Structure 1
């Protein structure tokens, strides 16, 4: 269905913060960004030019995130990507003023305890990366091809529930998008509706 492939994430008002989410368009250059990871290292999207990159929005306090991590589905998806040379950037955009905000050391420990296979985990407490991409939920997934073009955005899979029992019967959209893009094909399902917990953005200013 053609409109699906041409989907653009239009600006949406973020409840409670008064901040508008930016538009990130399928088929257009992925917004550039720089951030500090949980180990204090500066990381930029430009560091991975020429590689496939997956962005995963994560908040350990979210039941939908717990669904995929407690069942090891997110880790399996991360590892499958890494085995193909794909860079995986997990991003935590939860604002510092919220009770489920985790400081970098705690976030690093949580990822390690869950045996995550992400390349690194970025801290985005000010919400700049999340707003640049229009990220709405945890998880919210994006795939960027080696040319720096956004080729997938949306849900990790086709079962929008918090029930781990639904994972085996779901289509993993990230695996599918990566397989097609790595094979030099157009991504057949380039955009889906992300599901999960609303990202708790920090109030601007």
Structure 2
């Protein structure tokens, strides 16, 4: 029809409604690799100002992906805030991506205002102290960095990826940063899969609302098989 706004099918496909049913098994990290230039991207701060990754060139940057419905991300907020405090010369960014576990209360994003509102809940309810930058509705930046719910990338001052992990591991991030700041190879740092505790999982999924817990329970056996706890190398 004339004047009708057609839905962004790419964005709607990216913002799945049900974790596990609409999302592939998360057993590998794609996107930019260690030793490659970090792809530039544009995102929006919570004050509405647009920023690019290249704005932070000249100092190391830590980019972690997350969402208010992601127990893994929420479980590391306190540790990562402390890390940011200990490394004042490093820029710490939270790239707000699609909802990891959408439910009735916090659903899949259908417009940018909804996504920004969800990101503000991280600030208000989880005391996030790092700079939150919100990806666009289609997940353009997220796709460049592997499309996982809680990845972390350490980028050196020259804009090269020095370390990455499929799941954020704050002690490994600290070890990688120390190597980067000392001019050493951070790609040898090993990361550990550190699952969120049951209380955090339940709190976050209940916040997401009806459907989120059930979807997680159904998908859990496949997730458990894909992520055996223990030491694993950072994915170069």
Q: What TM-score results when the alignment is normalised by the length of structure 1?
A: 0.67
* Conserved 8 A contact 2:68-2:121: no
Work out which of the residue numbers 86, 91, 94 in structure 2 matches 1:90.
94
Pair 1:37 & 2:45 matched: yes
Alignment-derived partner of residue 128 in structure 1: 140
Cα deviation, 1:136-189, whole Å, max 9, x if unaligned, reads 13x2100000111001111332xxxxxxxxxxxxx7111111111011111153
Query: What secondary structure does 2:133 align onto?
Result: strand
CA contact (8 A) 1:152 1:177 kept: yes
| CA distance in structure 2 between the partners assigned to 1:196 and 1:31 by the alignment | 28
Select which of 162, 167, 172 maps to 1:151: 162
The unaligned stretches of length 5 or more in structure 2 are: 1-19, 197-236
Which structure carries more helix by proportion? 2
The 1-side partners of 2:179 and 2:81 are apart by 20
Equivalence for 2:68: 60
Instruction: State the TM-score, normalized to the length of structure 2.
Output: 0.59
* Change beyond 3 A, Cα 1:196–1:67: same
After superposition, the CA RMSD in angstroms is 3.0
Deviation at 1:77, TM superposition (A): 2.1
- Asked if 1 retains the 8 angstrom alpha-carbon contact of 2:60 and 2:157, the reply is yes
Which position in structure 1 is the counterpart of 2:181? 182
CA-CA distance at 1:116 after TM superposition:
2.1
Task: Note if contact 2:96-2:132 (Cα within 8 Å) is conserved in structure 1.
Answer: no
Q: Tell me the secondary structure at the aligned position of residue 88 of structure 1.
A: strand
For the residues of structure 1 that align with 2:96 and 2:132, how far apart are their CA atoms?
Answer: 11
The offset of 1:66, in angstroms, is: 2.7
Q: Deviations over 1:70-118 (max 9, x none)?
A: xx2222123223x2x11111011116xx443553144224224433221
1:13-39 alpha-carbon deviations (Å, 9 max, x no partner): x98369xx8531110101111121222
CA radius of gyration, larger in: 2
1:143–1:150 contact (8 Å) kept in structure 2: yes
